[in-house]
Structure formats: structure tokens, C-alpha cells
Amino acid sequence: MAHAPGLTFEHRLWTAGARRVVGVDEVGVAPTCGAVVAAAVIMPPNCKRIPGVRDSKMMTELQRERLAPVIRRRAVAVGVGAASVREIDQLNIYHATHLAMRRAIARLGGHDHVLVDGNRIADFEVHVGPYTNIVNGDDLVYSIACASVVAKVVRDRMMLKLHQRYPVYGWDRNSGYASREHRSAIREHGLTPHHRTSWQSIQALLAGDQLSLDLDGVALVDGLPAEDVPIPDGLDPLVEAELELVTA
């Protein structure tokens, strides 16, 4: 069993006077369709961990669904943000992911410090203020693990809603990843408005290429440089309705 993430980073910041410490994580970077979703969670200073919370990838769907509402009840604030397929194709997945994170943080109503999963993000502090990046943060840092659970549940529900409109792709089972079933459906039925057309694997499928499609997170476009990525006034209409439905 995977170990439980700790509160070391949070305690260090709480002791230094930062009371609203945010954990941020994202899901949906690698799939060939659907939005990328981020969650930002502020837990109370000196809180006790919720038993069972860990990196969402190490949890079953049932565990995530059971614990996500507990996290929301215990949290001081929760923000969820997303970047649509259109934005992913325009900006590239790197910038779109960070846009989703910024949108999630913006919904918190203020914060003192951000803890974010992954590598250092260029110019991120310009948009969110002081932050610390932690590689494997969703496995090590409690508030980031909480965010990973919330984000995963929200995105899976969004993909389930889309599955009800496009059932042939199996999105209720593959969450938009390029499974054999999903690839076969694309070959037979073509693309939807929710597929990421900049993805190399999508282009290979459309071209009838028999290349292995295991590496889904490869875009063909570079997108905009970091300093040119603004936060639009609202979410892309293609994703806003789905996000609101599953977070209401």
C-alpha cells in the first residue's frame, strides 16, 4: 500500500505565518480528448489528515468518490479550474495545464502560498504569488493529494457526461486515454469537438499510421510563450457547462 502524504511542507508555512496554504494538482494531461482539470485546496492550519487520502492515481474510483466530498467539507476553500480542448490545441498542453491551475487558484478567494505538484513553472509566481513546486507532490504533500482527488473526480465526471453524448468511444471507462477501444472508435467514427487535434497520436490515427500510440501527450504545435498566456475572462463554452454540472 502506498504511504500517506505528509504535512511537512504545510507545517513549515503555517509556522512562518502563512495561514491559507494551497495545494494544487491537475489531471488530464495525457488523454487525447477532454479538458485538462486542476483543483486547488486550502486545508485548515494544523489539520489532521483524512484517512485514505493519497495520490489519486493510487486510489480506486470508489475511494476517490467517497473521499472527495469529505475533502470539500474539511477544506477552508476549494477551487476547480479547467482549460478546454480548444485552449489545449491553441496554447499547448503545458501552458493550458498551468492556465487551469491559475483558474482554480483564482476561485479560492485569496491565499498566502501555493504548493504545486511537478517541476518549476516559468513565471508562475507572477500570476499566483509565492509558490513552491514539489516533484511527486501528489505522493508527498497532503494538500496536493487532496487537490489530486478533487480534480480526478471532477474530470472523470466530465468525461462521463461526454460519454453520454458520444458513447462509442468508451470515455466512461478510458477517461479519454488512447485505449484500444478508443482508437478503434476514432478510426470508425472519426473525431468529436472534444478531441485534441494537435495531438501526434490523433494525427497518426487519422493518417492510418500503425505507430504505437502509447505516448499520448505529444502535441504538434508549440503554442504561445508563457508570457503571452493570459487568463481569459471566462472558460471556453465547450467546457464551462460540463464543469459547472459536475461541481454544483
**Measured at the alpha carbon of residue 69, what is the angle toward residues 63 and 74, in degrees to the nearest 5?**
115
| Helices H / strands E in the chain, number of each | 11, 5
Mean local confidence (pLDDT), 127-146: 97
Q: Which three cell numbers stand for residue 97?
A: 495545464
Give percent of the chain with pLDDT exceeding 90.
70
8 A C-beta contact, residue 161 and residue 246: yes
pLDDT digit string, tens, across residues 77-97: 999 999 999 999 999 999 999
pLDDT digit string, tens, across residues 154-213: 999 999 999 999 999 999 999 998 888 998 999 899 899 999 988 776 777 767 644 444
- Confidence tier at 100 by pLDDT (50, 70, 90): very high
Q: Is the pLDDT at 241 greater than 70, yes or no?
A: no
Q: How far apart are the first and last CA of the chain?
A: 33
Sequence letter at residue 6? G
Mean per-residue pLDDT of the chain: 86
Distance CA 213, CA 199 (A): 10
Q: What is the pTM of this model?
A: 0.85
Domain 8-155 indexed as CATH 3.90.1720.10: no
Distance CA 227, CA 229 (A): 6
Residue extents of the structural domains in the chain: 8-155
